[in-house]
A and B are shown apart, each in its own frame.
Chain A
Amino acid sequence: MAQSFSKRFKKDMRLNWSAYLLVLPVLLYYAIFCYKPMYGIIISFKDFSLRKGIVGSEWVGLVYYKDFFSSYYFLRLLKNTVVISAASIAVGFPIPIIFALLLNEVRSRAYKRTVQTVSYMPHFISIVVICALIRLFTANHSLLTTFFSYFGYDDRYDMLNYKEYFVPIYVLSNVWQNTGWNCIIYLSALAGIDMELYEAARIDGANRWKQTLHVTLPGIANTVILLFVLRLGSIMSVGFEKIILLYNEGVYETADVISSYTYRRGLVKGDYAYSAAIGLFNSVINVIFVLTANRASNRLAGVGLF
């Protein structure tokens, strides 16, 4: 066995050495920028200081983990992360599906195309500009606060200073930015449904609504299930960029999530080891969720990520 391996190895090297040479920069990239930081996680078990370095710092065991799990922030961060994710899924997931179903019924091709082009547009606005727009429009005496003042909001105050408005603002602005874009995938699933199924349903006397119920929805069910399960898999990973561009100290209670706290604690305050511990905790949870989601989607939809 060993001999045949070394034989195969020699043959492979003789034939494909140029392929390995070609891919070398990519391998180095993954080694240096993906695997080396994974090794760097060990600082979360050390009393890390920049001066002593990763190897030179002393081991302290699980001190930071114990600290974090027993800290006042732990439950709050967990709660905020789940709430923001769950609200994003509850609102942001069904809307593109409904949007695609309705858009599919629009008869005028020109109108349909206009709606698509315009609704994709916000997707291309950078997150910094999106957050700037949110701040401008929810500030006191501005566009949205004026609009909400018709419904009883006191427009002398910034909406982002209320902790109860942070999640709705976060979620609804995502809906504004991404609904058009997210429905592309459903529109193509809809376009893939066999026309003869509609024909057959009509012959059986199904009206438009019945056709939607018995042909259209089953036709996109697999896409919906797959995307839903995968979305659930990322429930514990709320990115920090939008959060840290929108929040302020007054609303940490509802706005601060695991990733934004990792950023603040690590890079703003410089508690590298503590922050790396939180990061590892979050990564591990994410992996568990993704693996579970993948299994579920393999079972339910017959397809998964791997």
Chain B
Amino acid sequence: MKKKSTLKQEGRGYEVFQVFNNLFFALVLFITAYPIYYVLIASFSSPSGLAVNYGFIWLPIKPFTLEAYRRVITYRPVILGFKNTFIILVAGLALNMVMTSIGAYFLSLKNVMFSRVIGMLILFTMYFGGGLIPSYLNVRSLGMLNTYWALIIPGALSTYNMLILRSAFAGVPASLVEAATIDGAKHFTILRRVMLPLTGSTLAVLVLYYGVGHWNAWFSASIYLQDTTKYPLALVLRNILIKSQDAEMRQGDAGNEQGFTDLIKYALIVVSTFPILCLYPFLQRFFVKGVMIGALKG
């Protein structure tokens, strides 16, 4: 609105700038989107064709093949990876939300004697911790090695997310809480019946944040799990994409074709990442909202 009214006054210089600015963002769009597009078209190109035409390509190289996809989605570790990630995601998220809610609720209480001290002890852990080795030894001494628990319980709570939710709780009108108290509601009821229903959009943001965290987590699995059938998808991806442990998938004639290793990687990236990328434009506003809450808090 502002810009339209001023168009005429800005002069030629600004018009030239506008043209270059639009061109600049066209270049930005290309640089951002092309690698993603490349992965997609490469994933069903002819492997030997891809090995020869290794520069920029605009369309998939014929003859098209779905062989890489067939091998990826029938590869046992990948299937197990999806299953394990699903288990960890559901159990982890449930625990995350319960812990975050009760923690945030407690910290939002004003007339509780120790809430300030506890709040400071919690805040301290954001800036100082035992570090990698003591944390690893701790999980080990708790007997969690090689169990899903090692991937769920140590990450049960993120202090940062809890503080985001606490500010949302603090925004709930005190009169509502008072009214509930007069009706005889105890803390648990106030949390469940007053706080949570009124902070739905913040909760949605936190579900997304925790969810993405679980989906992408590979490191703790790599240090805590030995049993490969328990590996989450992200760790399976690490093993195939980074460590190139793909020998089993390359058996047979098609698998020996030059360039097939890369093809498997592209197909695997598509299978693991594109569902999220397709979902994300619909969830975008929640993520953006999350950035804003975090920033306001900071």
Is there an interface contact between B33 and A202, defined as CB atoms closer than 8 Å?
A: no
- Cβ of A121: which chain B residues have Cβ within 8 Å of it? 32-33, 36, 277, 280
Selected contact of A26 from candidates B99, B272, B280, B281, CB within 8 Å: B99
- Produce 1/0 per residue, B236-250, CB < 8 A to A: 011001100000000
Contacts A16-B113, A107-B18 given; indicate if A287 touches B128 (C-beta within 8 A). Answer: yes
Is there an interface contact between A18 and B187, defined as CB atoms closer than 8 Å?
A: yes
Q: Which of B242-298 contact A (CB under 8 A)?
A: 242, 262, 265-266, 269, 272-273, 276-277, 280-281, 284, 287-288, 291-292, 295, 298
- Cβ of A267: which chain B residues have Cβ within 8 Å of it? 132-133, 136, 223
Is there an interface contact between B187 and A132, defined as CB atoms closer than 8 Å?
A: no
Q: Does B58 contact A (CB under 8 A)?
A: no
Shortest Cβ distance from A26 into chain B, in angstroms? Answer: 4
Shortest Cβ distance from B275 into chain A, in angstroms? Answer: 11
Interface size counted on chain B using CB atoms at 8 A = 95
- Cβ of A147: which chain B residues have Cβ within 8 Å of it? 55-56
- Of the candidate stretches A80-88, A134-142, A162-170, the one touching chain B is A134-142
- Produce 1/0 per residue, A100-134, CB < 8 A to B: 00110111000100110111111011111101110
Q: Does B39 contact A (CB under 8 A)?
A: yes
A-B contact pairs, 8 of them (CB 8 A): A26-B103, A29-B99, A105-B18, A129-B237, A132-B241, A136-B266, A202-B9, A266-B136
Q: Does A90 contact B (CB under 8 A)?
A: no
Is there an interface contact between B288 and A184, defined as CB atoms closer than 8 Å?
A: yes
Is there an interface contact between B138 and A33, defined as CB atoms closer than 8 Å?
A: yes
Q: Does B14 contact A (CB under 8 A)?
A: yes
Is there an interface contact between B6 and A202, defined as CB atoms closer than 8 Å?
A: yes
Is there an interface contact between B241 and A128, defined as CB atoms closer than 8 Å?
A: yes
- Cβ of B123: which chain A residues have Cβ within 8 Å of it? 306
- Cβ of B11: which chain A residues have Cβ within 8 Å of it? 207
- Cβ of B125: which chain A residues have Cβ within 8 Å of it? 30, 34-35
- Cβ of B219: which chain A residues have Cβ within 8 Å of it? 241
6 smallest A-B Cβ distances: which pairs?
A37-B130, A40-B134, A279-B131, A132-B241, A126-B216, A146-B55
- Of the candidate stretches B19-27, B64-72, B167-175, B199-207, the one touching chain A is B19-27
Interface size counted on chain A using CB atoms at 8 A = 93
Interface residues of B (CB under 8 A from A): 2-4, 6, 9-11, 13-14, 17-18, 21-22, 24-25, 28-29, 31-33, 35-36, 38-39, 51, 54-56, 98-99, 102-103, 105-106, 109, 111-114, 118, 121-123, 125, 127-138, 140-142, 153-154, 156-157, 186-188, 191, 212, 215-216, 218-219, 223, 234, 237-238, 241-242, 262, 265-266, 269, 272-273, 276-277, 280-281, 284, 287-288, 291-292, 295, 298
- Cβ of B237: which chain A residues have Cβ within 8 Å of it? 126, 128-129, 132
Is there an interface contact between A102 and B191, defined as CB atoms closer than 8 Å?
A: no
Known: A40-B133, A305-B298. 6 other contacts (CB 8 A): A19-B112, A32-B138, A40-B138, A107-B4, A262-B131, A267-B223
Is there an interface contact between A276 and B35, defined as CB atoms closer than 8 Å?
A: no
- The residue in B133, B137, B215, B242 that gathers the most chain A C-beta atoms within 10 A of its C-beta is B133
Is there an interface contact between B133 and A128, defined as CB atoms closer than 8 Å?
A: no
Is there an interface contact between B156 and A29, defined as CB atoms closer than 8 Å?
A: yes
With A and B bound together, what is the CA distance between A127 and B291 in angstroms? 19
- Cβ of A45: which chain B residues have Cβ within 8 Å of it? none
Is there an interface contact between B269 and A132, defined as CB atoms closer than 8 Å?
A: yes
Contacts A118-B32, A283-B129 given; indicate if A128 touches B218 (C-beta within 8 A). Answer: yes
Contacts A8-B113, A118-B29 given; indicate if A245 touches B138 (C-beta within 8 A). Answer: no
Is there an interface contact between A33 and B54, defined as CB atoms closer than 8 Å?
A: no
Is there an interface contact between A106 and B113, defined as CB atoms closer than 8 Å?
A: no
Is there an interface contact between A129 and B272, defined as CB atoms closer than 8 Å?
A: yes
Selected contact of A111 from candidates B25, B99, B141, CB within 8 Å: B25
- Cβ of B29: which chain A residues have Cβ within 8 Å of it? 114-115, 118-119
**A contact patch SS:** helix
Is there an interface contact between A135 and B242, defined as CB atoms closer than 8 Å?
A: yes
Q: Does A43 contact B (CB under 8 A)?
A: yes
With A and B bound together, what is the CA distance between A30 and B157 in angstroms? 9
With A and B bound together, what is the CA distance between A195 and B3 in angstroms? 11
Q: Does A302 contact B (CB under 8 A)?
A: no
Q: Does A214 contact B (CB under 8 A)?
A: no
Shortest Cβ distance from A135 into chain B, in angstroms? Answer: 7
- Cβ of A120: which chain B residues have Cβ within 8 Å of it? 280, 284, 287-288
With A and B bound together, what is the CA distance between A230 and B56 in angstroms? 40
Is there an interface contact between B242 and A128, defined as CB atoms closer than 8 Å?
A: yes
Selected contact of A245 from candidates B18, B136, B238, B288, CB within 8 Å: B238
